[in-house]
Structure 1
Amino acid sequence: MSLSSRSSFSSSDATRFSTRLSVALIALGAFALGVASYVTAGLIPLITRELFILDAAAAQLVTAFTLAYAVGSPVVVTLLPGRCQREGLIAALVVFVLANALCAMSTSFIALLIWRGVAGVAAGVYLALGIAAAGAISREGRRGQALAVIMGGMASGTVLGVPLGLALAERLGWAVAFWLVAALGAIATAGLVIKLPRLPAPAPTPLRQKLAMLKHPPTLGILSVSLLAAIASLGMYTFIAPFMAAPAFGGVSSIALYLWVWGVGGIAGSFLIGPFVDRYLEARVTLVIMLVLTMALIALPLAAAQHPLMALLPIALWGAVGWALQVPQNNRLMQVRAPHGDAHLAVALNESALYLGSALGAGAGGLILTGGLSPWHLALAAAGAAALGAFLQLLLLARAHRR
């Protein structure tokens, strides 16, 4: 081997290592986001006792984060110049770290509510820019795996980080959970400042052109499938406790095992989907995922009616495909929007669609229960939303084939 070829080989290896390290650091930040997104619900009893507020008021801390994430982050990403994506990514993570540190130091409910909202906006901006950055620095044929690592990081934060944060909070107070999130985010920030390369800057895009995305049929189709998937998956997740507690499904008193299996399935699905996205057409992968999600939600009441433990298999499948879906969806959005220079905004809107779908699914499930319908209808309604998403994806595939 010649000296020049050795030098080229070493340079190529160094570039690949740097890319993988950058993706891993973005995933570490996503892990912190996963903890921050879900840990507050478990902290409500501790917060209510220390701040002398009602449970209903404390629950608005979750609402503040999710609403700010869904609504605020696309606005910030829209206004961010394309040439500032690296700086915006790091700045969003810095704000996220500071907001969580200020949450930990808050002594009043109003201050805690405000900083949770700020953290929600920063989290949404960071994840959107992080996914876009990972796609930009990854070579063709490896982008799906890079996105899978990031989504796997967020899923791991939800499944592994949240129990750790709650265990520490029970011993040391609720503030320590926010300090944990801030510490993880600070480590990721330091690493990204050092290792994240400069990102390619798309051509400047006027605000009017960015808003025109909402009239672009292929983009709207992808976002609509994500919305329907979130209504089905995250909406049903909201009611997994009352569903499994119903006498028809075994009257389960503790759902910890079922939530854990759902989360482990999510981690597995997030990490394993990457090679399939790189090898096959994203639209076909999405169609298969939506079909599996539909079948898992249909099988859930049928399996649980036989024995509660039999529900673990459809729950694992449901968690796996529910988390895996966003890898092909975000990858496809980046491909569709790359010529327009606003892929990061499309990813932000996709994340907003997930939170909006979660809220719509939770609202629909609440109406089902308050309307006196049986828990069977929760799973059937969720399966119906997933089936509608699969049908829409089939139409998108057929349209793409005709074109």
Structure 2
Amino acid sequence: MTPNSIGRLVALGAFALGMASYVTAGLLPLIQQDLQLSVALAAHLVTAFALADGLLSPVVVAMLPGHWLRRGLLTALSLFVVANIASALSQQLWTLLAWRALTGVCAGVYMALGITAANASVAPDQRSRTTARIMAGMASGTVLGVPLGLVLANHAGWPAAFWLIATLAAVALIGLWRVLPALTTTSVPITRKLAMLKDRRVMPVILVSLMAAIASLGMYTFLAPFLQAVDGDGVLPLPLVLWVWGLGGIAGSTLIGPVAERMDDARLTGYLATLLTLALAALPIIGHLQPWLLLLPVALWGAVGWAFQVPQNGALLTARQDHGDGSLAVALNGSALYLGSALGASAGGVVFLLQWPVWTLAVLAAALAGLATLVQWQLWRRAPVTAPYAPDTAAVD
């Protein structure tokens, strides 16, 4: 297989990860009925995955030695397969919670190491395209895989969705085990890895990712009540809006690769943040004028939201290429996304608690995205000229 095949296999694993990240929410009614749980208890399954991914996966990545790039990737994916099989076999809430938490940790570790390994296996001019392919795989898992898993679960029971995820991940695992070379990175002491938290080229990037995630994913959480508020006649079906958002995400994360190869990461992120601000700001305006036209900013929102992380991860890998801990920077960026989703949902809850108009959600989201845009353009103006990401890796016999 060619080096590009490694990126495709990592993308297949990311497809399974995208399914695992979001399918549980759709399975809650089936799990609740089968295990005789309350809604509140069943919802903890989603929280367990998100918190484990967001909080624990960077810790695991930080603890891995440099020569564990290949081994760590394959181990994370192997445990991901095992955890989903065990989830399918679980018949008690607490065991299912434990396995979903392990799935979340493995998912975060896999994405961080997978992006690093895939970029290390291709030429420098193909790295943005490779990262875009992986993000497109995750987007496809969310948009296409989740509905497929839910249809299967409705016909064969909720464990069937986890069996499907495990099968897809196992195929990626076998492929990567056969073709991925034993890449190694420079060994970095844990104290030097912790110094990343003081790196002015890293933390501002993660801050921008966090603000964009609060705006984008927070707004996505409340898309249903927002749509109901601006489209009181119900002419625009919610499933259609969700599909348009997701298909926009697939298109954006696929098409951003060639663009990222021709533009520096900081500048590209600035343009994407600007487009995200405009798309969110347009939601309440267009929604009140003509609900069907709402599909246009929704598609743009999905496209730039998913494309956003391609230049962000590229900037982080470039910033830490001389330190040998780029995978940890990517893991921290992933944590910012999950934290941003949680903060966005909490902030939206405050809006409802205060009984503000629902369109306020989009206005606040656009304002925060606008703030992220201003921060990003400042970063671009101050950014030094650096060479593209060139990881200090070598194949070990």
Which digits, 9 at most, give the CA deviation of each residue in 1:264-321, with x for residues without a partner?
0000000000011111111111000000000000001111101221110000000000
Task: Please say which of residues 252-261 and 25-34 is displaced more in the overlay.
Answer: 252-261
CA distance in 2, matches of 1:250, 1:132: 48
Q: TM-score, normalised by structure 1?
A: 0.94
Q: Compared with structure 1, are the counterparts of its residues 249 and 198 closer, same or farther at alpha carbon in structure 2 (3 Å cutoff)?
A: farther
CA distance in 1, matches of 2:231, 2:124: 50
Aligned to 1:109: 93
Q: TM-score, normalised by structure 2?
A: 0.95
Query: Where is the helix percentage greater, Structure 1 or Structure 2?
Result: 1
Aligned to 1:50: 34
Aligned to 2:273: 290
CA distance in 2, matches of 1:19, 1:172: 38
Aligned to 2:392: none
Which digits, 9 at most, give the CA deviation of each residue in 1:322-341, with x for residues without a partner?
00000000011101101011
CA contact (8 A) 2:69 2:185 kept: no
Aligned to 2:226: 243
Aligned to 1:355: 338
1:92 corresponds, among 73, 76, 83, to 76
- Equivalent residues in 2 for 1:91-170, closer than 5 Å: 91-170=75-154
CA distance in 1, matches of 2:150, 2:159: 10
2:195 corresponds, among 212, 228, 237, to 212
Once superposed, which parts of structure 1, at least 4 consecutive aligned residues long, lie more than 2 Å away?
A: 247-254
Which digits, 9 at most, give the CA deviation of each residue in 1:104-161, with x for residues without a partner?
0001111111100000000000011001111111111110000000000000000000
CA distance in 2, matches of 1:102, 1:224: 36
Q: Compared with structure 1, are the counterparts of its residues 378 and 252 closer, same or farther at alpha carbon in structure 2 (3 Å cutoff)?
A: farther
Aligned to 1:25: 9
CA contact (8 A) 1:250 1:308 kept: no
Matched AA of 1:294: T
1:318 corresponds, among 292, 295, 301, to 301
Which digits, 9 at most, give the CA deviation of each residue in 1:337-391, with x for residues without a partner?
0101100000000000000011111111110111110111100111011101101
CA distance in 2, matches of 1:253, 1:306: 13
CA contact (8 A) 1:159 1:263 kept: yes
How many angstroms does 1:163 deviate by?
A: 0.4
Percent of matched pairs sharing the same residue: 54
Aligned to 2:43: 59
Aligned to 1:9: none
CA distance in 2, matches of 1:30, 1:248: 35
CA distance in 1, matches of 2:322, 2:235: 51
Q: Compared with structure 1, are the counterparts of its residues 101 and 402 closer, same or farther at alpha carbon in structure 2 (3 Å cutoff)?
A: closer
How many angstroms does 1:176 deviate by?
A: 0.1
Q: Compared with structure 1, are the counterparts of its residues 295 and 187 closer, same or farther at alpha carbon in structure 2 (3 Å cutoff)?
A: same
CA distance in 1, matches of 2:232, 2:262: 40
How many angstroms does 1:402 deviate by?
A: 9.8
The answer to whether structure 1 residue 281 and structure 2 residue 264 are counterparts is yes
- Equivalent residues in 2 for 1:189-268, closer than 5 Å: 189-199=173-183, 201-247=184-230, 250-251=233-234, 254-268=237-251
CA distance in 1, matches of 2:325, 2:231: 49
CA contact (8 A) 2:11 2:138 kept: yes
| Gap regions ≥5 residues in structure 2 | 387-397
Kindly name which structure, 1 or 2, has the bigger radius of gyration based on alpha carbons: 1
CA contact (8 A) 2:231 2:291 kept: no
Q: Compared with structure 1, are the counterparts of its residues 225 and 249 closer, same or farther at alpha carbon in structure 2 (3 Å cutoff)?
A: farther
CA distance in 1, matches of 2:133, 2:92: 37
Aligned to 1:7: none
How many angstroms does 1:246 deviate by?
A: 1.1
CA contact (8 A) 1:249 1:304 kept: no
User: In structure 2, the residue corresponding to 1:341 is in which secondary structure?
Assistant: coil
Root-mean-square deviation (CA, aligned residues, Å) is 1.3
CA contact (8 A) 1:73 1:125 kept: yes
CA contact (8 A) 1:144 1:278 kept: yes
How many angstroms does 1:203 deviate by?
A: 2.1
CA distance in 2, matches of 1:180, 1:401: 46
Matched AA of 1:283: A
CA contact (8 A) 1:243 1:249 kept: no
CA contact (8 A) 1:231 1:360 kept: yes
CA distance in 2, matches of 1:112, 1:149: 31
Matched AA of 1:92: A
CA distance in 2, matches of 1:222, 1:276: 19
CA contact (8 A) 1:249 1:308 kept: no
User: In structure 2, the residue corresponding to 1:217 is in which secondary structure?
Assistant: coil
CA distance in 2, matches of 1:194, 1:381: 48
How many angstroms does 1:247 deviate by?
A: 5.0
Matched AA of 1:95: L
CA distance in 1, matches of 2:231, 2:220: 18
2:315 corresponds, among 314, 321, 332, to 332
| Matched pairs, number | 386
- Equivalent residues in 2 for 1:169-180, closer than 5 Å: 169-180=153-164
Aligned to 2:395: none
